[in-house]
DNA sequence: ACTGAAAGACACAGACT
DNA sequence: AGTCTGTGTCTTTCAGT
């Protein structure tokens, strides 16, 4: 059920420089870190029944292998004047490399856009936009988004309520 | 342009127990914490040209007033077998309190759903779902989502590429 | 791969400006 | 509202199992 022989970590992995698979302890550590990035190594150690050294080494390894991407601080949207969230769909007029690259560059430079995905369906991109209020969104829509070259259709969906928001991928 | 008199913090705020407005130093601290939740107070202090005490106090105050919501660790989706992301739109057959509450309870219990919003437009909810692969999504769609009572229409949009993803709200 | 100990860095509280 | 200083706790490394 939780057997971990000396070969446990590397047995599963694929090719040459493959990343060692995560074992039960690693996942326990990730679970704690996901909920609170500022938890101390000591606290983790006591909860997973290990001393600080292996916990420290495991965290470092997960940072180096990219399992742990970043430690971030989540801020209350409304309290930093970003209380309005809008989902925005964009299609481009042309689907060549140049148009796409140009669009991506423009999006990257817009701090209102907090997420952007390439999606299936009738639209090409989905954007998540965070702004202070409707006026700010109108300004963004008309004077920033629409100004990008080769923009085809635009469609906005407004977020009226947040039901659930989690960053917990590991359970 | 960056004047901060003794009344600076409280002058703007609204009612009685109102949260003091964030000043330039607070925003600088937030900027650093957003990028790296594990940054030390000392490091922040040196970057914002303050000693550790006021930085420590400011962080504590922002935690207490809810400006800082949580410190989280972001994990590589693919490396924890959650490499497929799907945006899923849901409409309910009935729009009474009971149906809504029941849906929300069901969604909350599903670990595949990492975000859920109440939205404007033809659908009622937008879900962001993270699963390992298409098989896992099919199973989720057919055996979990569709099983919720009063579910009307369902529409899935697949994320083919991540262009941008940030948690930086404060600039 | 883990434990335990030990050095250095840090957080946090106090006295003071 | 800030600096400086001290104490206790934490991170991080090293020797040993």
Average confidence score pLDDT of chain B:
91
Confidence of residue B155 (pLDDT cuts 50, 70, 90): very high
Lowest mean pLDDT among A18-32, A156-170, B57-71, B83-97: A18-32
B119–A76 CB contact, under 8 Å: no
Find the CB nearest A67 among B19, B22, B76: B76
Give the pTM: 0.91
Q: What is the pLDDT of residue A19?
A: 74
Find the CB nearest A72 among B37, B114, B159: B37
Q: What is the pLDDT of residue B153?
A: 97
Rounded to whole angstroms, the Cα distance separating A55 from B141 reads 37
Q: Which nucleotide is nearest to A54 (CA to C1')?
A: C2
User: Is the confidence at residue B48, as pLDDT, over 90?
Assistant: yes
More confident of the two residues B8 and A23: A23
All structural domains of chain B: 8-74 (1.10.10.10), 77-158 (3.30.70.920)
User: Considering only alpha carbons, which residue of chain A is nearest residue B34?
Assistant: A73
Which DSSP helix (H) or strand (E) runs through B58? helix B52-64
Q: Which residues contact B109 (CB under 8 A, 6 or more apart)?
A: none
DSSP 8-state assignment for residue A37: T
Q: For the residues A17-43, what does the mean pLDDT come to?
A: 94
User: Is the confidence at residue B16, as pLDDT, over 70?
Assistant: no
Residue B169 sits at φ, ψ, to 5 deg, of -100, -30
A160–B118 CB contact, under 8 Å: yes
B109 contacts chain A (CB < 8 A) = no
Q: What is the pLDDT of residue B19?
A: 74
Q: What is the pLDDT of residue B5?
A: 35
How many Å lie between the alpha carbon of A125 and the closest alpha carbon of chain B?
Answer: 9
User: Is the confidence at residue A30, as pLDDT, over 50?
Assistant: yes
Percentage of residues in chain B with pLDDT exceeding 90?
Answer: 88
DSSP string, A85-125: EEEEEEEES--SHHHHHHHHHHHHT-TTEEEEEEESSS-SE
Q: Specify which residues B118 forms β-bridges with.
A: A161, B125
Lowest mean pLDDT among A15-29, A37-51, A63-77: A15-29
Confidence of residue A15 (pLDDT cuts 50, 70, 90): very low
Q: What is the pLDDT of residue A78?
A: 97
B71–A68 CB contact, under 8 Å: no
B158–A33 CB contact, under 8 Å: no
Q: What is the pLDDT of residues B83-96, one digit of tens each?
A: 999 999 999 999 99
Q: What is the pLDDT of residue A81?
A: 97
A2 contacts chain B (CB < 8 A) = no
Q: For the residues A96-113, what does the mean pLDDT come to?
A: 97
- Residues on chain B touching A30 (C-beta within 8 angstroms): 73, 75, 80
């Amino acid at each position: 059920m939780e057997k971990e022989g000396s070969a446990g970590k590397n047995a599963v992995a694929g090719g040459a420089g493959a990343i060692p698979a995560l074992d039960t302890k690693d996942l326990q550590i990730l679970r704690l870190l996901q909920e609170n990035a500022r938890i101390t190594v000591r606290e983790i150690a006591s909860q997973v029944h290990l001393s600080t050294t292996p916990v420290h080494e495991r965290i470092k390894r997960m940072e180096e292998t990219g399992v742990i991407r970043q430690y971030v601080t989540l801020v209350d949207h409304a309290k930093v004047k970003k209380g309005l969230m809008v989902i925005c769909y964009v299609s481009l007029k042309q689907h060549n490399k140049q148009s796409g690259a140009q669009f991506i560059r423009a999006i990257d430079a817009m701090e209102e856009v907090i997420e952007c995905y390439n999606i299936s369906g009738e639209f090409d991109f989905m954007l998540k936009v965070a702004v202070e209020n409707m006026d700010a969104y109108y300004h963004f829509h008309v004077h920033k988004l629409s100004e990008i070259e080769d923009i085809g259709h635009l469609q906005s969906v407004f977020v009226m309520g947040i039901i659930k928001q989690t960053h917990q991928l590991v359970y």
